[in-house]
Amino acid sequence: MPERPLSGIRVLDLTNVLAGPYCSYHLMLLGAEVVKVEQPGRGDLARSLGPDPELNKAGVGASFLAQNAGKKSLVLDLKDPGDRAAFEELVRGADVLLENFRAGVLARMGYGDDRLGELNPGLVSCAITGFGQSGPMSAAPAYDQIIQGLSGMMSITGTTDTAPLRVGFPVCDSLGGLGAALAISAALLGRERTGHGARLDVSMLEVSLSAMGWAVSNYLVSGVGPEPMGDQNATAAPSGTFETADGGLNIAANRQEQFRTLCRVAGLPQLIDDPRFAEREARKRHRAELNTALNAALRRRTALEWETTLSAAGVPAARVLTVPEAVELEQLAHRGFFTDLPYPDGSGRTLRVSGNGVLVNGEPLPPQAPPPLLDQHGGERDRLIARWRAHRRSTEAQAS
């Protein structure tokens, strides 16, 4: 097992549902010790979310299980003086505090930036919200679908007949979590140089617009707004989803030599020098005619046959899979992307969770423990606090 890059980093995680827990899950996979601070009685809202009612009732809903493996759970009531004192001790020993309350809520609870800085000058605190901690929309509630709509993402998803459409998974939540994990990692590295912590303010709206890349920058640079194109790629042709004998096939022949190879392999060499298709811009203008010709040829064989043949010839091509099909790909098994863990309820069932897609020195970084039951580590609270404080004193002594 490789040494994990964030080994020794302690994260106090006050988040729930997705964006925040997804962030801390990635920090955990990279080696951080993550302690979830949960509300008495119900804990993380995701504990009751998912397609299995029995798991939801037991407080280990599928939505919770997906991104909380390897973490510890403590229940603290921040209205209770004793629990507030314990929380402050944890803050003193933490490297990172992560929260996704609405803007200003943590400050109203008595833990604004100034107070957190008093408790721990080296703390990296990170707030994930829909719109950020400032601005006219900062106090507005936001979930993933709200951000998808406001960002323009939905307006370019689907076809001209079906848009606007929601992307089929909570992509803005995931992007917010990844953006926060990147910022936290950078702030921790900066602290090594300066000795000072940082206050990070992550806006899901802004992270999502940033991730939309060309769709936004093309408008900013050229003044041309993107339009929904379904499964087609606006920057090239042929590039999109095509028909085969048994299902969809994605092809991205974005380079001239790839287009020529595709035509030869598909038995359509006459298209190579056809003036309608001879160069990129012409192919884009005549996309419909080109797609019609390719679909007719590709229907002669299965998607897997074309994937194998075209990939071997250097043309990017792959089947369009369902999620159940995708998770069975041999490629994922080869790289150890999934990890099997016991269910936290002691039922003996096997829980499969995903990794982060990163190998360190050739090895994956699997979670090493299942997601926690609510307050599973409550009995360890005092020992945990003592260990974190001792580590903090040792770190401060080395720095001085």
Q: Tokens 């000058």 identify what position?
A: 121
Cα 58 from Cα 15, distance rounded (Å): 20
Length of the chain (residues) = 400
Q: Are 231 and 163 in contact (CB under 8 A)?
A: no
Residue 203 backbone phi and psi in degrees, to 5: -100, 120
Closest CA to 370 of 352, 356, 383: 352
> How crowded is the C-beta side of 129, counted as CA atoms within 13 Å?
19
Quick one: how far is CA 100 from the chain centroid?
15
Q: Which of 100, 157, 155 shows the shortest CA–CA distance to 130?
A: 100
From 173, 231, 274, 375, active-site residue: 173
Residue with token string 């002594």: 397
Q: Based on the residue annotation, tell me whether 144 is a catalytic residue of this protein.
A: no
Q: How many angstroms separate the CA atoms of 215 and 197, rounded?
A: 35
Backbone angles phi, psi at 385, to 5 degrees: -60, -45
Catalytic residues: 173
